[in-house]
Amino acid sequence: MPASSLDQIVSLCKRKGFIFAGSDIYGGLANTWDYGPLGVELKNNVKRHWWKTFVHKRHDMVGLDAAILMNPKAWEASGHISNFNDPLIDCKACKQRFRGDKLLEEKLGVEAAAVITLEQLQPMLTAEKIACPHCGKCDWTPAKKFNLMFKTQQGVIEGEGTDIYLRPETAQGIFVNFKNIAQTSRLRLPFGVAQIGKAFRNEITPGNFTFRTREFEQMEIEYFVEPGAEGPAFEMWKDTVWNWFTGLGIDATKLRIREHATDELSHYSSRTLDIEYDFPWGWGELFGLANRGNFDLTQHQTFSKEDLQYTDPDDPTKKFLPYVVEPSFGCDRTVLTLLLNAYTEEELEGGDVRVVMKFDRRIAPVKVAVLPLSKKENLISKAQEVRSMLIDQMDGNIDFDVTGSIGKRYRRQDEAGTPSCVTIDFGTIGEDATQGEVDTVTIRDRDTLEQKRVPISELCTSLKMPN
Ligand code: ATP
């Protein structure tokens, strides 16, 4: 049985140390979340797997790590200062503020809500009798634009510094470095630049756990092509990304592709589609793919007065601004989807229920748990030896657990999603041949519950992870 509610995941995340409420001891700070010991391993593994797939395994991709703070002119050029707005609507009765399109979306569905204009929002909410989620009244102000960028000041003297912004997307860091990368990497079109990093948006209504927060992490690619080649590149990325999600075990029946209608497109895009996941509260965007044309490079060329054209290495007279296809992943939404997707309740014989997180091995926060059967000193030291060997020879986090019965320890690892447990018993240390031969251990599989005995010398090969 998969997770039926978000609460199940939120409480498992807290109990197991995947994700905690931010600033918890101070009563929290609304909609901030901290990744705990298991969560940070899971998230890092997702990022590592993403980087491996989209940067290291491809000949046409390189990486970048650009600064969060950028010259404010970059945000003028990108259109974020004038266009990066959401429709804000106030409840006249209780003065709470909401994102009008999202209120409408809950009632009419995402397609219908997406095409409603700013002016139509208040009349639609009234006509549909959509009440304030806070006080239950239906008395709305007209909707107005609310810019989502976080503004701050650079400089030590308050009031005299320059207004700067926390980046609302990682993409612009790539565009402003396009010339640097094209000149230093000797890449030929088509090529892409990938970046993973924090982005900040002053969302009007954050919520649904880590789905919508004001600080989040993106994994973005800007894929540069010759003008005219963007259509096939768009299709290629659509398939590649779909396969990446399903390749990680995300249930394809809970994924769908949603093309944006023309009047829903962002100011920079001529075609956009989202990959959506069927979250416990309904379909929501997990990933976006946009055809940005040469909008960004044109804007940055105009505002910076730098020539950002690409020169064809075979024909130096051929100069042009490349077109761009942008696959944009939310890292936190990917992690949330993987948590929801992995959650499984299995009824065991006798009516007992086993909770198991069925993560793909490549992203599981703990790769292997080493479990000495008892706390006897020579068993523990042998188990520590095995753990050290695994740490040296395998990639990832190796756990060591001596507390509680072996059954309880297996259950704990099931809830963490550990694919394999390695048990060291008295057979391993040559004290009880009935348990197994000397220098052999038992591997217990999380999903099949199968146990097999292998020599320590073959342990790493038996546990080998796929790439
Ligand atoms: P939404 O419609 O949900 O606000 P968006 O279309 O504004 O999302 P994009 O600008 O396309 O989102 O950002 C790319 C990706 O970044 C999204 O697909 C999503 O996974 C992630 N993302 C965007 N906003 C947030 C947020 N506030 N919290 C967490 N992840 C986010």
Q: In whole angstroms, what is the distance from residue 248 CA to residue 449 CA? A: 21
Ligand 1 touching residue 287 (CB < 6 A):
yes
Give the residue, by CA position, lying nearest to ligand 1 atom 14. 328
H helical segments located in 177-330: 178-185, 230-247, 295-304
Residue type, 58: R
pLDDT (0 to 100) of residue 159: 66
Tokens of 106: 């809950």
Q: What is the pLDDT along the chain (467 residues), one digit of tens a residue?
A: 666 689 999 999 999 999 999 999 999 999 999 999 999 999 999 999 999 999 999 999 999 999 999 999 999 999 999 999 999 999 999 999 999 988 888 888 877 888 888 899 999 999 999 999 999 999 999 999 999 999 998 887 666 668 899 999 999 999 999 999 999 988 999 999 999 999 999 999 899 999 999 999 999 999 999 999 999 999 999 999 999 999 999 999 999 999 998 888 877 888 999 999 999 999 999 999 999 999 999 999 999 999 999 999 889 999 999 999 999 999 999 999 999 999 999 998 888 899 999 999 999 999 999 999 999 999 999 999 999 999 999 989 999 999 999 999 999 999 999 999 999 999 999 999 999 999 999 999 999 999 999 999 999 999 976 55
Q: In whole angstroms, what is the distance from residue 93 CA to residue 175 CA? A: 45
Share of the chain above pLDDT 90, in %: 83
Give the residue, by CA position, lying nearest to ligand 1 atom 24. 212
Residue 164 host element (H or E): strand 162-166
Rounded distance from Cα 102 to ligand 1 centre (Å): 13
Residue type, 326: E
Give the residue, by CA position, lying nearest to ligand 1 atom 6. 288
Rounded distance from Cα 142 to ligand 1 centre (Å): 25
Give the residue, by CA position, lying nearest to ligand 1 atom 18. 287
Q: In whole angstroms, what is the distance from residue 451 CA to residue 388 CA? A: 22
pLDDT (0 to 100) of residue 175: 98
Residue 362 host element (H or E): none
pLDDT (0 to 100) of residue 413: 98
Ligand 1 touching residue 367 (CB < 6 A):
no
Q: Which of 78, 329, 333 to mutate to test the pocket of ligand 1 (most atoms within 8 A of CB)?
A: 333
Is residue 285 within 8 Å of 260, Cβ to Cβ?
no
Q: How many CA atoms lie within 13 A of 265 on its CB side?
A: 16
Place of tokens 């600080």: 215
Q: Which of 285, 292, 329, 331 to mutate to test the pocket of ligand 1 (most atoms within 8 A of CB)?
A: 285
* C-alpha dist (Å) from residue 267 to 263, 271, 291, 309: 10, 11, 11, 22
Contacts of 295 (CB under 8 A, 6+ apart): 267, 268, 269, 324
Tokens of 353: 């229920």
Rounded distance from Cα 330 to ligand 1 centre (Å): 6
Ligand 1 touching residue 216 (CB < 6 A):
yes
Ligand 1 touching residue 16 (CB < 6 A):
no
pLDDT (0 to 100) of residue 176: 98
Q: In whole angstroms, what is the distance from residue 21 CA to residue 451 CA? A: 37
Q: Which of 33, 209, 218, 269 to mutate to test the pocket of ligand 1 (most atoms within 8 A of CB)?
A: 218
Rounded distance from Cα 81 to ligand 1 centre (Å): 18
pLDDT (0 to 100) of residue 466: 57
Instruction: Please give the number of the atom of ligand 1 that sits closest to the Cα of 220.
Output: 14
Q: In whole angstroms, what is the distance from residue 327 CA to residue 382 CA? A: 48
Instruction: Please give the number of the atom of ligand 1 that sits closest to the Cα of 206.
Output: 27
Rounded distance from Cα 452 to ligand 1 centre (Å): 44
Ligand 1 touching residue 167 (CB < 6 A):
no
Ligand 1 touching residue 203 (CB < 6 A):
yes
pLDDT (0 to 100) of residue 157: 67
Give the residue, by CA position, lying nearest to ligand 1 atom 27. 212
